[in-house]
């Protein structure tokens, strides 16, 4: 059921689905230079779910320390005054011989009733990046938090739908900070839950160097 923001910080599975479809449509419309988010329905024992699944964005280059030098050539958006926000998601540069690419998946946690980010990185030869290699690439404030608490921030866990290990940001605190975010004045009183995902990604994206374009927040 679609609903007005309940200020609880969490959302139902049905709301997650609605928000995921809305978010991917808006992203794909406003971000034509960038790969699309795709909804993958959950397929279980031969039955394809109508509304359970996850979003994927694959083979992208994140704004990382090492990609900075490539940024000027590929950046085609206005950079903001604050240096920290010049993080722009860049085009996939398949010609760069040492490009690190990432897959990002967003799935729903039935326990915590929030979205969860799963990601993994590859070298250009297809080899998976280790935790240490990813740490070198993450924005520095993420690394600080990671260092303080290895187990409660970023962990390697099994993807809820694929039988493979992925890195994930632990969701147990998400409800709390989303509650704060959704009740802040910049979002106004009546934000619909359909905008939950763009709001959530605006925070989570920063942890891994993915920026969400501002156009995504404009009400169409």
Partner 1 sequence: MEEEATKYIWEGAIPLQIKLHESEITSFPPPPPLMILGLRIGYLPLLVPPLKAHFSSTLPPGTDNVWFDYKGLPLKWYIPTGVLFDLLCAEPERPWNLTVHFRGSPGDVLTPCEGEESVKWSYINSLKEAAYVINGNCKNVMNMSQADQYDLWQSLLKGNMEGYLKISSRLKLGPFGEDSLPSEASETVASSRPSRIPVRLYVRSVGEEIVDIEDAPIIDSWDKISYINRPFEIYKEEGGYVSLKQALKSLLPETFNTNSSQEESSTNVKDPNAPDFEDDNAKLRLVRVQGIEPDMDIPFFWLANCLRNPEFYLHICVFISKQPKLI
Cα-to-chain-centroid distance, residue 69:
23
Nearest to 208 by CA among 110, 112, 129: 129
Does the protein bind partner 1 through residue 126 (CB under 8 A)?
Answer: no
Nearer to partner 1 by C-beta: 8 or 79? 8
Cβ pair 56, 38 in contact under 8 A: yes
Q: Rank residues 37 and 108 by Cβ distance to partner 1 and give the closer one.
A: 108
Q: Which helix (H) or strand (E) element contains residue 41?
A: strand 38-44
Which residue in the list 42, 77, 127, 172 is annotated as catalytic?
Answer: 172
172 touching partner 1, by CB under 8 A = yes
Question: What's phi and psi for 107, nearest 5 deg?
Answer: -120, 170
Question: What's the closest the beta carbon of residue 196 comes to partner 1, in angstroms?
Answer: 19
Q: Which residues contact 46 (CB under 8 A, 6 or more apart)?
A: none
Contact by Cβ (8 Å): 139, 85: no
Q: Is 157 in the site for partner 1 (CB under 8 A)?
A: yes
Q: Considering the rule CB under 8 A, would residue 123 count as an interface residue with partner 1? A: no
- Per the annotation, the verdict on 127 as an active-site residue is no
Helix boundaries (H) for 50-100: 68-74
Nearest approach in angstroms of CB 135 to partner 1 is 15
Query: Closer to partner 1 at the Cβ: 27 or 119?
Result: 119
Binding site for partner 1 (CB under 8 A): 44-50, 110-112, 128, 151, 155-158, 160, 163-165, 170, 172
Could you list the active site residues? 172
């Amino acid at each position: 059921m679609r609903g007005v923001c309940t200020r609880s910080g969490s959302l139902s599975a049905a709301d997650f689905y609605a928000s995921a479809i809305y978010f991917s449509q808006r992203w794909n419309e406003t971000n034509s230079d960038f790969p699309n988010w795709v909804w993958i329905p959950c397929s279980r024992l031969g039955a394809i779910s109508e509304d359970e699944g996850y979003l994927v964005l694959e083979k992208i280059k994140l704004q990382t320390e090492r990609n900075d030098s490539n940024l000027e050539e590929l950046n085609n958006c206005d950079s903001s005054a604050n240096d920290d926000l010049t993080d722009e998601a860049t085009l996939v540069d398949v010609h760069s011989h040492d490009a690190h690419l990432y897959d990002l998946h967003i799935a729903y946690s039935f326990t915590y009733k929030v979205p969860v980010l799963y990601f993994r990185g590859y070298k250009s030869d297809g080899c998976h990046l280790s935790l240490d290699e990813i740490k070198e690439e993450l924005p520095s404030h993420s690394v600080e938090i990671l260092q303080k608490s290895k187990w409660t921030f970023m962990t390697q866990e099994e993807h809820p739908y694929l039988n493979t290990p992925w890195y994930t940001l632990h969701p147990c605190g998400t409800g709390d900070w989303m509650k704060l975010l959704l009740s802040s004045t910049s979002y106004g009183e009546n934000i619909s839950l359909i905008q939950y995902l763009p709001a959530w990604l605006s925070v989570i994206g920063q942890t891994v160097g993915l920026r969400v374009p501002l156009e995504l927040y404009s009400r169409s």
